[in-house]
């Protein structure tokens, strides 16, 4: 008899694993392919006056199809750049797109108001026009200040040269990628270190150890960045510009790598978690906050050697990332659907384990359960407790003495993390816990669910039927 029970238990686990794999394969086949993008070069001329900035933006190597233009929100006096020959041949009359055409170079002009003038420590963000669905491969930036206010201009691009002439101040920068921000401050901080990927401004000489570490720094992206050893008075956040007063080399290196990953994948400064996890995989070393390190180690410990290699290779082939894309990629590699990144991105401190999801629709007594979640964790099959039990006529009450579940005739108490439960004031020992809290929700293990609430389960390829036993 024990042999029969063991065999049936093993068969149930295998069957569920096969069905979960089938569900994932259906899910995986429906994933959208990465949208292909084109790349163009841009040259930007910015002329600063007392109350405005005149911007001329030249797009090079544009494809022949129709292209939508996104103008800066604060821009005024939008037009084509008439000073450039044939610059407007593709610009639509309403200035919203470039029409289909052979000319691969187009130019536009606009103005950005300076409401408060040019103030010390100012950051310009979102000041450039963009071509939708296009990426910038190279940027050349010319800055002219007609009021000769001096100071230093930082965009993250390498600064090629600066000149203070009789009538203007001029700065030239160029390099790979796009720029999203432009910073100006009155005080000039000299350059104390520079290579193909990084420029460091400091009023003090860098230590030999720091210079050596920066020489050996393997930044995963080739986009240039700028680091200023000065206090970030205005709390400026920019993907290509970093401020620090910290002389700890490990902290500086970690910040540079994370910023570079944010820039490479289009991740924001407001949610550093994803960038820190991806950064850890890029250098094979955990960096970032405690939760980011935990997520990195959770995945690394789960991956086989082949999965680990496949995951790292796949990350290098994606141009943009978010939690959903990372979950799709992770699901594809491990063979089961998971929302690991999306769940952990919902709360800063709370940790969600690596859970596998069964996407089959669940029916309880013939009623479809829209909110029902079905998970596999550590070999256990877990059902979201509240939607299931409420449909069965029970109420749930989470207290400091445990979880109370009851209806008109049956009253349970489940002290979480204690090896017993109480049914109608009678205590029963338990070899395992029926309920488990994941995040803010309770889940019930399938075997306990069947025994305690007298249920039958029928599993099909596309649905799961749960019915109450006739002996209930």
For 122-172, what is each residue's pLDDT tens digit? Answer: 999 999 999 999 999 999 999 999 999 999 999 999 999 999 988 999 999
**Which pLDDT value is given to residue 471?**
55
Q: How far apart are CA 160 and CA 171, in angstroms?
A: 8
Measure the CA dihedral 247/251/252/258, to 10°. Answer: -170
**Which pLDDT value is given to residue 120?**
93
**Which pLDDT value is given to residue 84?**
67
Over 70: is that where the pLDDT of 28 sits? Answer: no
Average pLDDT along the chain: 87
Q: How far apart are CA 176 and CA 380, in angstroms?
A: 49
Please identify, among 188, 207, 234, the residue that sits at the C-terminal boundary of a domain. 188
**Which pLDDT value is given to residue 253?**
81
pLDDT, one tens digit per residue, over 307-350 is: 999 999 999 888 788 899 999 999 999 998 999 999 998 877 78
Please identify, among 188, 221, 252, the residue that sits at the C-terminal boundary of a domain. 188
**Which pLDDT value is given to residue 258?**
87
100 domain residue, yes or no: yes
306 domain residue, yes or no: no
Q: How far apart are CA 154 and CA 242, in angstroms?
A: 10
Domain count, the chain: 2
Lowest mean pLDDT segment, chosen from 210-219, 285-294, 453-462: 210-219
Q: How far apart are CA 7 and CA 11, in angstroms?
A: 6
Cβ(413)–Cβ(422) below 8 Å: yes
Please identify, among 136, 154, 188, the residue that sits at the C-terminal boundary of a domain. 188
- Provide the domain limits for residue 111: 38-188
pLDDT, one tens digit per residue, over 226-259 is: 999 998 888 888 889 999 887 678 888 888 888 8
393 domain residue, yes or no: yes
**What is the Cβ-side half-sphere exposure of residue 352, based on CA atoms within 13 angstroms?**
18
> Can you name the residues that pair with 31 across neighbouring β-strands?
none
367 domain residue, yes or no: yes
> Can you name the residues that pair with 324 across neighbouring β-strands?
none
Cβ(467)–Cβ(456) below 8 Å: yes
81 domain residue, yes or no: yes
**Which pLDDT value is given to residue 429?**
92
pLDDT, one tens digit per residue, over 344-398 is: 988 777 888 899 998 899 999 999 988 888 999 888 999 999 999 999 999 999 9
CATH number of domain containing 64: 2.60.40.1730
CATH number of domain containing 431: 3.30.457.10
**Which pLDDT value is given to residue 34?**
44
Over 60: is that where the pLDDT of 27 sits? Answer: no
Average of pLDDT values for 272-290?
Answer: 90
Q: Are strands 225-228 and 241-243 parallel, antiparallel or unpaired?
A: parallel
């Amino acid at each position: 008899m024990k042999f029969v029970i063991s065999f049936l238990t093993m068969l149930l686990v295998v069957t569920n694993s096969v069905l979960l794999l089938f569900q994932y394969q259906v899910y995986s086949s429906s994933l959208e392919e990465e949208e292909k993008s084109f790349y163009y070069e841009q040259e930007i001329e910015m002329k600063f006056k007392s109350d405005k900035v005149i911007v001329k933006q030249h797009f090079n190597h544009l494809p022949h199809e129709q292209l939508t233009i996104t103008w800066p929100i604060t821009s005024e006096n939008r037009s084509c750049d008439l000073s450039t020959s044939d610059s407007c041949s593709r610009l639509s009359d309403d200035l919203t797109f470039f029409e289909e055409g052979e000319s691969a170079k187009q130019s536009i002009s606009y103005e950005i108001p300076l409401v408060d003038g040019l103030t010390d420590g100012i950051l310009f963000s979102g000041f450039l026009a963009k071509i939708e669905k296009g990426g910038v491969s190279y940027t050349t930036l010319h800055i002219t200040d007609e009021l000769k206010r001096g100071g230093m201009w930082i965009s993250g691009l390498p600064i090629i040269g600066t000149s203070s002439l009789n009538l203007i101040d001029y700065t030239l920068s160029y390099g790979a990628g796009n720029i999203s921000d432009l910073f100006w401050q009155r005080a000039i901080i000299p350059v104390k270190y520079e290579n193909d990927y990084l420029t460091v401004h400091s009023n003090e000489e860098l230590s030999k150890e720091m210079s050596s570490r920066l020489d050996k720094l393997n930044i995963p992206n080739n986009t240039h960045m700028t680091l200023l050893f000065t206090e970030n008075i205005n709390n400026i956040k920019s993907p290509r510009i970093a401020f620090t007063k910290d002389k700890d080399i490990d902290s500086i290196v970690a910040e540079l790598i994370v910023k570079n990953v944010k820039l490479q994948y289009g991740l924001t400064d407001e949610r550093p978690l994803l960038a820190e996890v991806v950064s850890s995989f890029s250098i094979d070393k955990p960096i970032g906050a405690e939760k980011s390190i935990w997520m990195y180690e959770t995945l690394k410990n789960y991956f086989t050697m082949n999965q680990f290699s496949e995951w790292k290779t796949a990350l290098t082939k994606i141009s943009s990332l978010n939690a959903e894309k990372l979950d799709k990629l992770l699901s594809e590699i491990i063979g089961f659907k998971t929302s690991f990144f999306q769940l952990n991105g919902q709360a800063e401190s709370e940790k969600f384990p690596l859970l596998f999801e069964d996407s089959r629709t669940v029916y309880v007594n013939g009623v479809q359960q829209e909110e029902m979640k079905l998970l596999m964790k550590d070999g256990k099959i877990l059902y979201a407790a509240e939607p299931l039990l409420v449909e069965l006529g029970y109420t749930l009450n989470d207290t400091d003495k445990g979880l109370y579940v009851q209806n008109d005739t049956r009253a349970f108490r489940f002290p979480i993390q204690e090896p017993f439960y109480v049914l109608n004031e009678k205590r029963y020992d338990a070899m395992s816990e029926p309920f488990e809290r994941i995040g803010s929700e309770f889940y019930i293990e399938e075997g306990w669910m069947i025994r305690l609430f007298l249920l039958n389960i029928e599993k099909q390829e596309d649905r799961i039927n749960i019915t109450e036993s006739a002996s209930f």
